[in-house]
Structure formats: C-alpha cells, structure tokens
Copies of this chain bind each other. A is one copy, B any other.
Amino acid sequence: MHNCIRKIAIAGSGNVAWHLATALKKKDFDITGIWSRSYEHASLLAGKCSATVRNTLSELTTDTDLILIAVPDGAIEEVVQKIGKFDGIVVHTAGSVGLEILNSHFARTGVFYPLQTFSKERDIDLQEVPFFLESSAEEVMEQLKEVAVQLSSRVFEADTAQRLLLHVAAVFAGNYSNLMYIIGNEILATTTLPSDVIHPLMLETTRKAIADEPLKVQTGPARRNDINTIKKHLEALAPLPEYAELYQLLAQAIRKKYK
C-alpha cells in the first residue's frame, strides 16, 4: 500500500494556484509552502491557506509529499531546475506541456490538469471541474487520484497527447467563444442600445449546446443558407471590414457542416 499525499507545496500564485491551494486546504490537505515570483502574491495566498511563504523554490521541498507547479507554461522549466533535488512527487498543471519536462529532474512525476477558466475573483465549484491526470508510474497515478477525487467528481486519466487536444478544444470552446462575445459587444457598441441586451442570448446559446449537441442546435442565417440576410449583414459590417471578413469565413464554415 502506498502512502497518501497529505502535505502539498505550491509553486505559483496565479489563478490556478489560487483555486487549487484554497480548495486543497478546505479538504484538509496541509499546504506546507507557497513560492511565487511575486512575494506579495505568495504572502496573500499563503495567508489564505495557513502556509509558509518560501523565498526560494528549493525551500518548497521542505517537509512535503507533493510539489504542485502552477506557473505559466514558459516558466515551468526554470522552476523545475530551481527546485533542485526532491524525492517526493512533482506535478504540473498545464494543458499543453508534456509530462517529460518533469521526468528528467525527478523520479516521481505527474500532471494534474483542471479544465476550467479560473479567476481569483470568481468562485468555482471544483466538484464539477474535470481533472486530467497523467503519470508514468502507476503508484503515483493512484496517489494523485486520491487527491483529485477529493476535489472533483470528474477525474480522468489522459496522456500528454490527449491533454494537448483537450486544451485545443478548450481554446475554441472557451477563448474563441469569448472572442465572439467581444466582437458581438463591439458591434452592439455602434448602436445606442445597452450591451447587456445580448446576455440572455449568450446564456441560452450555451445552455442549449450543453443540453443537446452544438451541431444539432445551430441556428442563424448561415445554417439556413439565407444568402439574402448574410448579404445584408456584410453590408452592415462595411465600417468594420475585418469583422466582415471573419463573418464570411465563419458563415462558410457553418455552411460546410450542413452540406
């Protein structure tokens, strides 16, 4: 029988670090230390979960079972090097970074990737958030699972390639749908109407796509192949030529789907 992870140190104090650290603390994990490039942010988060602020990354190894790295993707390699020698488990939380970035430095490694958009100001029910775990060691995978199932009811195994695709899917369904909201907002701002008139549509569109398949619930001029309305819309977009171009491209993408 393997040991349970009870003591967790965290590198990072951004949105992911913030949500994971506070949720783990609530589930009675011992947050042993917090390191962040910003001492101030580390202090704030440490205060939130009764942890010690660590001045250096190597201090994170002090009396802990697991080091969880939740820093920007491009900073992981440097963090890994500065942690130095550590016999416990080290995981990162990145969608598009392979497990191998940890394997050259540590014996017991894994990935602990929550698929959600986190902001410090917004409460998230982690129970609903899917977690994707990876490890090359079965024992480590079991240990990570024991942690993850306390945070979430949806825990999966996914290797680096699957996680990368997952992240790409998330960019479309998350980042790029938000871009569509930005553009919608901008067009609305050219009228005298308040920007929130579009909110019920945004919410219902999303709920509908969740309740059914998005491919089945698509509506609109492109879906109906309503050339006349598309033409009117492109004329209305004449003062915003880059959006006219994008409108046409996305209309084509929809029409292709229903040919």
A-side residues, CB < 8 A to B, are: 72-74, 96, 115-117, 119, 122, 124, 128-130, 132, 154, 156, 158, 161-162, 164-185, 187-188, 190-193, 195-211, 213-215, 217-224, 226, 228-229, 232-233, 236-237, 242-243, 246-247, 249-250, 253-254, 257
Contact = CB atoms under 8 A, between A and B. Distances in A.
Given A175-B220, A180-B180, A166 B197 contact: yes
B165 A188 contact: yes
A47 B186 CA distance: 42
A168 B217 contact: no
Contacts of A199: 210
Given A96-B233, A232-B96, A201 B183 contact: no
Contacts of A122: 204, 208, 211
Indicate the member of A199, A201, A246 with the most B CB atoms within 10 Å: A201
A181 B173 contact: yes
Nearest to A199: B210
